[in-house]
């Protein structure tokens, strides 16, 4: 459980780096809560794949999933294949613009309707939710709205707004400290 919480916190740090527009070399697993065995038995229909591909960003996925790059390489098609067969069920983010755990956590009516069906959340957001104005779909938006985020696969893994803000502050402090040290080394 501690490993899951650390992975979730690292995920928040990487998202913060993206939001700030700064680069980072930190690795992050985006709420990885399931076993490879359970991921292997779940598939995404061709029609759902076509929908979801619209929000998949290979550059984002590549940058935020170094473990996947080490496994499948940097080819966009290979990254998409990993996401749609495994990463989606591990709750990895397809882009900076959508976090399925945030969507499920913020909109309780969806959680009641879809439970742990991750693909159903994507389908709803892409076919209905965006048009309805359901815009709290990122960790930053969830924290700004004082929403606690729960992993779909393991409700005991949570990220509170305070923990998100602390991760941002810690990340910023570490970046400032590293920058200062770099400046000293260059003098």
Average pLDDT over the chain, rounded to whole? 77
Residue 33: other Cβ atoms inside 10 A: 21
Structure tokens at 49: 């794949």
> Percentage of the chain with pLDDT > 70?
66
* pLDDT band at residue 113 using 50, 70 and 90 as cut-offs: very high
For the chain, how long is the longest CA-to-CA vector? 60
DSSP 95: B
Cα separation, 89 vs 72, in Å, equals 17
Domain residue extents for the chain: 2-186
Question: Does position 68 have pLDDT exceeding 90, yes or no?
Answer: yes
DSSP 23: -
Rounded mean pLDDT of 137-142?
87
């Amino acid at each position: 459980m501690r490993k899951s919480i650390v992975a979730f916190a690292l995920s928040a740090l990487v998202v913060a780096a993206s939001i700030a527009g700064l680069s980072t070399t930190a690795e992050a697993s985006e709420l990885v809560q399931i076993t490879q065995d359970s991921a292997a038995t779940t598939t995404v229909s061709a029609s759902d794949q076509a929908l979801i591909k619209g929000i998949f960003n290979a550059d984002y996925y590549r940058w935020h999933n170094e473990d996947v790059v080490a496994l499948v390489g940097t080819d966009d098609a290979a990254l998409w294949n990993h996401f749609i067969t495994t990463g989606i069920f591990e709750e990895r983010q397809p882009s900076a613009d959508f976090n399925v755990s945030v969507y499920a956590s913020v909109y309780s009516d969806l959680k009641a309707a879809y439970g742990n069906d991750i693909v159903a959340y994507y389908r709803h957001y892409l076919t209905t939710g965006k048009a309805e104005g359901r815009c709290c779909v990122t960790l930053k938006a969830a924290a700004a709205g004082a929403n606690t985020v729960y992993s779909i696969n393991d409700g005991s893994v949570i990220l509170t707004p305070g923990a998100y803000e602390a991760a941002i502050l810690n990340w910023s402090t570490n970046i400032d400290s590293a920058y200062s040290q770099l400046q000293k080394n260059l003098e």
